[in-house]
């Protein structure tokens, strides 16, 4: 049965009543729900793997590596840390507040949350975010992608068997259903997807002044910079692995490579070899190589490859029936061409040559574009790398590595500007789904009349002198 305005209204109302009952507040209860979620994932692991294979052509190993395993790890970290994270903070109020010297900060849930997840990592980016919402003490409406139909069906079955709908519920359907959800008043919205849709989400959220967290890909893509002193074989091996993963449909994937002209030919040769070692001479017939999500995505990728057909140095072929398209290296590409000024979200990999001595000009151009979600640098000069990575704006990244910053416990994941706002994973997810409330505990005796009138004359001068002393 399709979702209607009345059904969604009833769902949100039931979740709001459940939240107001206070049932979600005890930390022990939240940990119990996280354990139920983890158990459900483990119990339904094979079904989730099959759904990932149907939607995205994922092998069992890649399904676990990219979706199922990280979700379980995220839940484990949250269970282990939640009691500590949720504990109220105790602060000294300061002399200005004397005699009320104790102030506490409570980490309060927002209430009823809406999580809108994408097709590319349908398990991790649905259940991983749900774990953060549960940890914060919220109720949750999940709106999953209509593109990953098998995963949405598997998730709907898992959620309905694990949680009552007045606590956690999954809403399926297309853009119209998403708009029905956005038209309702939620207390927090978490959206993962494209910058263009994010603008619409923010506009709808603004009607109710609902706070939002946005995890986006960046409009001008994630750069990988390879200096002349880099270990080219190591870089090629890691880049080939990453670009093959999920057929390039990853928000933190390498969108374009900038390689020092002095080593460009050698690097491209190494990259070709790396792709062949990992996927064989015919990636289209490799059972482990994932596929694009649908015909529209395939046709968009194929059309863009045709535009640059004369500069394809590796790959370039696709099979519309299987929706597979080879990892495709395009070289040389100018830094101002259209293909490096937008997020590709496919296995195309444009390579931009630059003079290693002119690295500053390259970085200046990248800095003036929209902030990427990820940045990757390959070089032996760690001092230079630290200086660059600590002075540019992007979501996160690696030096001489790709993507694994996403797996580090205790650190935030999130973008800035057109690559998003807010952050999550571990304690950062808990913070994203809670609001800090400051409460001062006052005293009923020994209260000084410093803040009270009169402010003039001798009394005023004395009060002012004491206030200035307190503010030091």
Active site residues: 215, 251
User: Taking phi first (over 0 means left), then psi (-120 to 50 degrees means alpha), and beta for anything else, what does residue 287 get?
Assistant: alpha
How many Cα atoms occupy the beta-carbon half-sphere of 393 within 13 Å? 15
**One-character DSSP codes across 423-453:** -BSTHHHHHHTEEEEEEEE--SSS--GGGSS
- Of the candidates 325, 373, 330, 324, the one whose C-alpha atom is nearest the C-alpha of residue 349 is 330
The enclosing H or E element of 114 equals strand 112-116
Distance (Å, rounded) from C-alpha 427 to C-alpha 86?
9
Pull the structure tokens for residue 334: 């100018």
Distance (Å, rounded) from C-alpha 151 to C-alpha 44?
12
- Of the candidates 80, 5, 9, 4, the one whose C-alpha atom is nearest the C-alpha of residue 38 is 80
Measure Cα distances from 50 to 41, 46, 57, 447, 455 in Å.
Answer: 13, 6, 9, 67, 74
Contact by Cβ (8 Å): 189, 210: yes
User: Taking phi first (over 0 means left), then psi (-120 to 50 degrees means alpha), and beta for anything else, what does residue 446 get?
Assistant: left
Pull the structure tokens for residue 159: 């959620």
Contact by Cβ (8 Å): 399, 389: yes
Measure Cα distances from 153 to 34, 50, 157, 195 in Å.
Answer: 21, 11, 6, 26
- Neighbouring C-beta atoms of residue 455, cutoff 10 Å: 11
- Neighbouring C-beta atoms of residue 364, cutoff 10 Å: 10
Distance (Å, rounded) from C-alpha 243 to C-alpha 290?
11
- Neighbouring C-beta atoms of residue 262, cutoff 10 Å: 16
The enclosing H or E element of 196 equals helix 195-206
Contact by Cβ (8 Å): 440, 99: no
DSSP 66: I
């Amino acid at each position: 049965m399709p979702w209607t305005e009345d059904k969604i209204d009833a769902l949100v109302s039931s979740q709001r009543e459940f939240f107001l009952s206070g049932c979600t507040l005890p930390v022990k209860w939240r940990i119990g729900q996280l354990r139920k979620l983890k158990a459900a994932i483990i119990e339904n692991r094979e079904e989730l793997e099959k759904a990932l294979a149907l939607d995205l052509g994922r092998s069992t190993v890649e399904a676990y590596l990219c979706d199922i395993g990280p979700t379980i790890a995220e839940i484990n970290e949250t269970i282990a840390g939640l009691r500590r994270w949720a504990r109220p903070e105790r602060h000294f109020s300061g002399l200005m507040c004397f005699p009320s010297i104790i102030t506490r900060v409570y980490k309060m849930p927002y209430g009823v949350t809406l999580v809108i997840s994408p097709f590319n990592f349908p398990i991790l980016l649905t259940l991983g975010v749900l774990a953060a919402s549960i940890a914060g003490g919220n109720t949750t409406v999940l709106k999953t992608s209509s593109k990953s139909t098998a995963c949405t069906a598997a998730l709907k079955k898992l959620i309905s068997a694990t949680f009552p709908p007045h606590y956690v519920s999954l809403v399926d359907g297309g853009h119209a259903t998403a708009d029905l959800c956005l038209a309702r008043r939620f207390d927090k919205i978490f959206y993962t997807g494209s910058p263009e849709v994010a603008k619409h989400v923010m506009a709808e959220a603004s009607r109710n002044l609902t706070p939002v967290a946005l995890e986006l890909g960046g409009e001008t893509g994630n750069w990988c910079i390879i200096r002349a002193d880099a270990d080219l074989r190591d870089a090629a091996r890691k880049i080939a692995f990453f670009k093959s993963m999920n057929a390039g449909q990853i928000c933190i994937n390498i969108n374009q490579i900038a390689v020092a002209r002095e080593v460009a030919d050698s690097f491209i040769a190494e990259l070709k070899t790396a792709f062949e070692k990992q996927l064989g001479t015919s990636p289209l017939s490799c059972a482990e190589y994932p596929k694009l999500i649908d015909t529209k995505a395939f046709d968009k990728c194929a059309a863009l490859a045709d535009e640059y057909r004369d500069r394809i140095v590796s790959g370039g072929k696709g099979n519309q029936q299987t929706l597979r398209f080879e990892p495709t290296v395009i070289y040389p590409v100018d830094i101002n061409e259209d293909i490096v000024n937008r997020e590709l979200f496919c296995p195309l990999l444009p390579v931009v040559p630059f003079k290693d001595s002119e690295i500053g000009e390259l970085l200046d151009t990248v800095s003036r574009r929209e902030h990427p979600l990820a940045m990757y640098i390959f070089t032996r000069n760690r001092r230079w790398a630290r200086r660059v990575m600590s002075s540019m704006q992007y979501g996160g990244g690696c030096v001489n590595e790709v993507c694994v910053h996403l797996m580090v416990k205790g650190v935030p994941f999130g973008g800035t500007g057109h690559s998003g706002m807010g952050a999550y994973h571990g304690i950062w997810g808990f913070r994203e789904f809670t609001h800090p409330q400051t409460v001062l505990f006052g005293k009923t005796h020994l209260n000084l009349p410093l803040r009270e009138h009169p402010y003039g004359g001798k009394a005023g001068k004395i009060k002012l002198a004491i206030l200035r002393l307190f503010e030091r």
